[in-house]
Amino acid sequence: MKKVFYFIFTKSIGLYLNLLSFAFPQKANQKAFDLFSQPRKGKLSPDKLPKTLSKAIFKSISYQGESIATYTWKGNDTVILLVHGWESNSSRWKKTLPYLQATGCTIIALDAPAHGLSGGKEFSIPKYGEWINVLVQEYHPKYLIGHSFGGKASLYYQAHYENHSIEKTVILGAPDEFKTILYNYTDLLSLKSSIIKGLEAKYATVFQKELDQFTAKHFASKIKTKGLIAHDIHDTIVLFDEGKKIATAWENAVFIQTEGLGHALHDEDLYQQVIAFLFETE
Output the DSSP codes for 49-81: --HHHHTSEEEEEEETTEEEEEEEE--SS-EEE
Mean pLDDT for the stretch of residues 221-237: 96
For residue 120, the tally of other CB atoms under 10 A from its CB is: 20
Residue 39: which pLDDT band, with cuts at 50, 70 and 90? very high
Residue 208: which pLDDT band, with cuts at 50, 70 and 90? confident
Q: Please report how the helices 193-207 and 25-37 are oriented relative to each other, as an axis angle in degrees rounded to 10.
A: 60
Q: What is the pLDDT of residue 260?
A: 97
The torsion angles phi and psi of 143, rounded to 5 degrees, stand at: -130, 145
Mean pLDDT for the stretch of residues 14-34: 93
Exposed (0-12), middle (13-18) or buried (19+): which is 103, by Cβ within 10 Å?
middle
Q: What is the pLDDT of residue 5?
A: 67
Q: What is the pLDDT of residue 4?
A: 61
Q: How far apart are CA 165 and CA 79, in angstroms?
A: 10
Q: What is the CATH number of domain 61-177+215-278?
A: 3.40.50.1820
Question: Are 171 and 229 a contacting pair, CB within 8 Å?
Answer: yes
Q: How far apart are CA 167 and CA 210, in angstroms?
A: 29
pLDDT at 282 over 60: no
pLDDT at 9 over 90: no
**3-state SS, residue 254:** strand
Q: What is the pLDDT of residue 80?
A: 98
pLDDT digit string, tens, across residues 164-195 = 789 999 999 999 999 888 998 899 899 999 99
Residue 31 Cα distances to 11, 34, 96, 193, angstroms = 15, 5, 37, 15
Q: How far apart are CA 64 and CA 126, in angstroms?
A: 14
Q: What is the pLDDT of residue 3?
A: 63
Query: Domain segments of the chain: what residues?
Result: 61-177+215-278
One-letter identity of residue 261: L
Least confident interval from 22-31, 125-134, 172-181, 204-213: 204-213
Residue 257 Cα distances to 69, 148, 187, 197, angstroms = 32, 15, 30, 36
Q: How far apart are CA 280 and CA 282, in angstroms?
A: 7
Mean pLDDT, rounded, of the chain: 94
The two beta strands, 79-83 and 66-73, are: unpaired
More confident residue, 261 or 11: 261
Residue 153 Cα distances to 116, 162, 220, angstroms = 17, 15, 11
Question: Are 244 and 231 a contacting pair, CB within 8 Å?
Answer: yes
Q: How far apart are CA 40 and CA 6, in angstroms?
A: 14
